[in-house]
Structure 1
């Protein structure tokens, strides 16, 4: 029987913008991170006679979703990044890049052309909550061992 292991603690990475600077990601205050591709890679067209035309579609764009505690360092960095980015020239809007690595799985993601979809929704409640940030990416490369 093969045994495999996984730990979120083994995930590390960085976000970097040429003007704003970098944030080294250690997972502190993060609930989860997910990477979703936006472009379907295949489409089928069915003709009236039933023949199928299969299309192979290019496109590596997607969304990186980060859910963080509202008092976490990553949330405050993202908020500052968003506010600073908004006031920079438009040419800098999608110049952020990310690198995520998980040493337990050997997988990594190189993500470029990152821009915020919008500022994360801010809840104010009796108990501290989590903020969800959706970061759109022009290119997401999935790498394995």
Structure 2
């Protein structure tokens, strides 16, 4: 996940938890990440959140993710306050849901996964929340 051009442009630090959680952290905002009010710009916040949300779905799928087509189907974001100095997005898929994702992908079936992502600024203040629906499908090239 760390070598994708989008993640490199954002200059994110990505942390993968042993519990399947994913944290994506914008610690070093660039001038192009900041809006006219001096806060982290909304599309940048969305990008950081998307890395955590999709990453959590990939972590939940485990080895089955390597042969899956994964895309964000829908997303909502609720900004609660401006993010100053950086942004951290944290997401995780419930272990019982992870088992179902793995089963479905291994059986050649698709699965839509709800992933909640929390947002905090550099001081740990809650700045918003996101909900992603991540679609995971068997890769068409694997179907012969």
TM-score (norm 2): 0.29
Instruction: Considering fraction of residues, name the structure with more strand.
Output: 1
Instruction: Considering fraction of residues, name the structure with more helix.
Output: 2
TM-score (norm 1): 0.29
Q: State which structure, 1 or 2, has the greater radius of gyration over its C-alpha atoms.
A: 1
